[in-house]
Structure formats: C-alpha cells, structure tokens
Amino acid sequence: MAKLTVVQFLRGQLKSFPPPEKRDVSGKTVVVVGANGGIGFEAAKHFARMNPGKLVLACRDAAKGQSALVAIKKDTGCENMEVRTVELADFDSVAEFATKFEQEEARLDILVYNAGVAITKYGAAKDGWETNLHVNYLSYSLLQLLLLSLLSKTATTYLTRPRTVVRLEQPALLGRCARRRTVKSKNLGESERQSLLR
C-alpha cells in the first residue's frame, strides 16, 4: 500500500461513508463480546436498532456492561437486552459462559467477537498462556467450539444461517510480542521450556 500525502489523506476524510445497513433481526439472538466500550459498544448499539429478539452484552465487568446497557437502551429504546459476564483471560470463565448460555437460550444467530487486549510486555494469563494469545485467539476459539452446537441447532431448527464475526485489529501484535525467547509455561511443566518463533 502506497503512502498517502497530507492532501490525499484530507481529501479522503471529506468523503462520506454510506449509512450502516439496517436489517430486521426480529426473533434472533445476538451476542456481542466486548460490548461495553469502543467498537463493541457501537456494534451492540447498531444491533439494538435492528429489533433483535435478544441482545446479549458479554463483558468482563458486569458494572460496565450494565452502564453500556443503560446507554444503549436510552439511545435506541431496545428493551430485549441483558448483560452476561465472561473473562477471556480465564478458560473456566469462557466455559461457564458457554455452558450457561447453551442451557438457558434456545438459539444463537449472530456472535460478534470484539473484546481484546494489546499488551506489549510479556505476561501470562491464569491458565499459563501469554495474555495476548490467550485473550485474542485461544479464548475465542474455545468459545466458538463450545457454542458451535447451538449455532448448528439454530441453523437446523429455525432454517437460518447463523453468523460469527471476528474483529482482530492487531494480528501483527502476536509476532511483535513473541520474539525469540524462552518462556516457562504451566502447560508444559515448570522444568520444560518452550522457545517461540525459532
């Protein structure tokens, strides 16, 4: 991609974008992970305007999720919302979220992954994995696998095409954080070591 000149950049800022598409998602269940701030909040607000059967704001912090729910309700008038907590830095929390959701909900039509972290110093999450990898990749994969049966059931029962939307804004971050180094991992045992990016 070529570099833009200042004039090209400013000219590009003057272009208007088309309005966001608005569809009717009546009766459908939408889950937005990371819905309490930023793009996740705006995505949840967008879905709230589409008349969902249920909109689930999946957030790490219940209080922030509740604040987002109140703000979205005030802005859109959507009443069919709830907050559920999930901590992506903890596999047990992800599994608990998925299990409860599958037990309590009859369908899942749209699943939006938006939450993430961008930590530039090495740190391990509760389960021993590097935090960026754990939150941005492994937990999403686990959640997807655990909810796959409900997505499939929704497709066959309601004759719909459930969707999963993944937003990874910094795929290169993993490469920058995982320079060649030796890392202790509880998953490999304390005496074993893993060398990243040989």
* CATH value at residue 172: 3.40.50.720
Q: Output the pTM of the full model.
A: 0.77
Which parts of 15-162 fold into alpha helices (H)? 38-48, 62-76, 91-104, 131-133, 139-158
Residue 172 has what pLDDT? Answer: 46
On whether residue 12 sits in a domain, the answer given is: no
Query: Could you tell me the residue range of the domain that residue 171 belongs to?
Result: 23-195
* Number of domains the chain contains: 1
pLDDT tier for residue 178 given thresholds of 50, 70 and 90? very low
In a domain, 10, yes or no: no
**15, part of any domain:** no
Q: Give the largest CA-CA distance in the chain.
A: 58
Rounded mean pLDDT of the chain?
85
Residues 49, 55, 59, 65, CA torsion sign? positive
